[in-house]
Amino acid sequence: MSAALGRHFARLVTNAVVRRPLLWRLFRAPLRTQFDRLAPRWDAMRGPEHLDPLEAALAALRLSPARVLDVGTGTGDAAAAVARRFPQADVVGVDLSAAMVETARGKHPGLRFEQADASRLPFEDGAFDLVVLANAIPFFDELRRVVAPGGWVVFSFSFGPGTPIYVERGRLERELSRRGFMEFADFSAGRGTALAAKLQ
Ligand SMILES: C[S@@+](CC[C@H](N)C(=O)[O-])C[C@H]1O[C@@H](n2cnc3c(N)ncnc32)[C@H](O)[C@@H]1O
């Protein structure tokens, strides 16, 4: 699959799954194959600014989380950014792609990475004070389940609406509000955007 086709496929899957999470069963295997293939060159495909919107959100929120999850961690850079900002926190990054997880472990030996599907996370209810998703497909019911009361979720998109895996802001707020999130806060950095929300 060419890079352009891969980006279109990622957007198609994101749009489909956000609206109809049950469709994930059709897309899981091909998307995992796509990211397994991309893992060796993933870092070369991104600029140094790709996490700027996430960093902007984390800097502004003034949190002190003890337990943090990075969903769709890829090569682990968002998890590493979170660990640098909150050195007291226990940080874990999860990804569907075994090749991404292996790469993340090699790059960030002090951090914990696990292969897991965001649609069925291997964590207890309320296990995290903060969950971050950098350019990752959200599964809202699972997010709601693993965030602790009073905890936060932060979505970031490196190129705003131009990001291949992107969820429109209104959709994010609607899906989160209906699951008890509130206190929405928007951030931007260059072309990148982020949205944070707090669980009641
Ligand atoms: C666009 S990449 C983003 C990687 C990284 N967060 C970054 O910003 O560089 C999306 C990542 O999500 C992973 N992914 C896709 N669907 C997933 C799922 N259901 N559960 C866990 N990870 C998933 C992919 O394997 C890929 O590594």
Which pLDDT belongs to residue 71? 99
CA–centroid distance, 75 to ligand 1, in Å, is 9
Q: Tell me how far apart the alpha carbons of residues 42 and 175 are, in angstroms, rounded to a whole number.
A: 30
Q: Which residues of the chain have pLDDT under 70?
A: none
Which pLDDT belongs to residue 41? 96
For ligand 1, whether the C-beta of 117 sits within 6 Å is yes
Q: Tell me how far apart the alpha carbons of residues 82 and 86 are, in angstroms, rounded to a whole number.
A: 6
For ligand 1, whether the C-beta of 114 sits within 6 Å is no
Which pLDDT belongs to residue 48? 86
Which pLDDT belongs to residue 123? 98
Q: Tell me how far apart the alpha carbons of residues 199 and 145 are, in angstroms, rounded to a whole number.
A: 10
For ligand 1, whether the C-beta of 74 sits within 6 Å is yes
Mutate to test the pocket of ligand 1, among 14, 17, 27, 73 (most ligand atoms within 8 A of CB): 73
Task: Please tell me the residue having the least CA distance from ligand 1 atom 13.
Answer: 72
Q: Tell me how far apart the alpha carbons of residues 25 and 40 are, in angstroms, rounded to a whole number.
A: 25
Q: Tell me how far apart the alpha carbons of residues 70 and 94 are, in angstroms, rounded to a whole number.
A: 6
For residue range 17-64, list pLDDT tens digits in order.
999 999 999 999 999 999 999 999 999 999 889 999 999 999 999 899
For ligand 1, whether the C-beta of 99 sits within 6 Å is no
Mutate to test the pocket of ligand 1, among 25, 28, 35, 117 (most ligand atoms within 8 A of CB): 35
Sequence-ordered strand ranges (E) for 20-146: 67-71, 90-95, 112-115, 128-134
Q: Tell me how far apart the alpha carbons of residues 100 and 199 are, in angstroms, rounded to a whole number.
A: 29
CA–centroid distance, 143 to ligand 1, in Å, is 15
Q: How many CB atoms lie within 10 A of CB 29?
A: 10
For ligand 1, whether the C-beta of 119 sits within 6 Å is yes
